[in-house]
Amino acid sequence: MQIVLQPNNSNVIRASLLAFAVIAPFLSIALVGSGFFAALGPLFVSHMLMLYPTLVANCQWWGPVFTRFQTSEQEVWLTIDDGPTPEQTPAILEILERFEARATFFVIGANAEKYPHLITEILARGHALANHTYTHPRAMFWCASAAKIRSEIDRCAETLRTLPERPALFFRSPVGMKNLFVHPALARRGMVLIGWTTRGLDTVKRDPTAVAERIEKGVQPGAIILLHEGQRLAKEPEFNPRCIERTLQRLATHGYRFVIPRPEQLRT
């Protein structure tokens, strides 16, 4: 299925950033006679303008990032990153079943390859899969080369297609970071970048109730919710399932249903 992108200014902004990056060194050379700091100015501004859309999650400057979906109902999209994990995925699936919730699992390809039975179980329960890179290189994905980005996307996609044959149209980058190579790679593969409306910061917070409260404050119809699995597996394997359970409990009291939106519903 082809996802139709809504018109926005991403292409113009992207072209302007790249053009300024090319011009900045020549401006610096021209300003050498005006002093060191004046000459450094264009290069500094250029670097900051390149780093901002790279490091700031959901920034649209490099290209569209879908952060919500269109709906007239009391619906939200629950997305769960970093699985599958044998310690937590089965418990999460049971919780989702209890609340009659559907979710999209943004899986790490290496984990999917290691635990194919969990991928099969996710699909059997009526949930969806999406691409979250093959190795989840969170420390360097923001500065990865075009070849590295292509490899991370393709290796995960190849794994998901074999377990079983279902293409994953959606991609989420590690920690939400992306650089100028990500959108072209996705476009050539018919994929799109998914961000979020609200997240629980469950990779930082230690209290599941605080995680759920944060999501509750930021939720609205059509929201994309970001939660994780795979955190604190050794010391507290029930942590992520509890975060998800308390989030579902709180939002259910407000009448929210947990659905997987159609691609044409996605909005930036």
Q: Which of 127, 136, 183, 228 is catalytic?
A: 228
Is 207 designated active site? no
d(CA 229, CA 82): 6
**HEC profile of 52-102:** HHHHCCCCCCCCCEECEECCCCCEEEEEEECCCCCCCHHHHHHHHHHCCCC
d(CA 240, CA 126): 20
CB 87 within 8 A of CB 62: no
Q: Which DSSP state fits 175?
A: G
Location of structure tokens 């409306």:
197
Bond prior to 184 in cis (omega within 30° of 0)? no
Give the containing element (helix H, strand E) for 129: strand 128-131
Is 228 designated active site? yes
Location of structure tokens 């302007």:
16
Q: Which of 81, 127, 132, 183 is catalytic?
A: 81
- Cα dist from 61 to 39, 65, 121, 136, whole Å: 26, 9, 37, 23
Q: How are beta strands 266-267 and 192-194 bridged, if at all? A: unpaired
Where in the sequence numbering do the catalytic residues fall? 81, 228
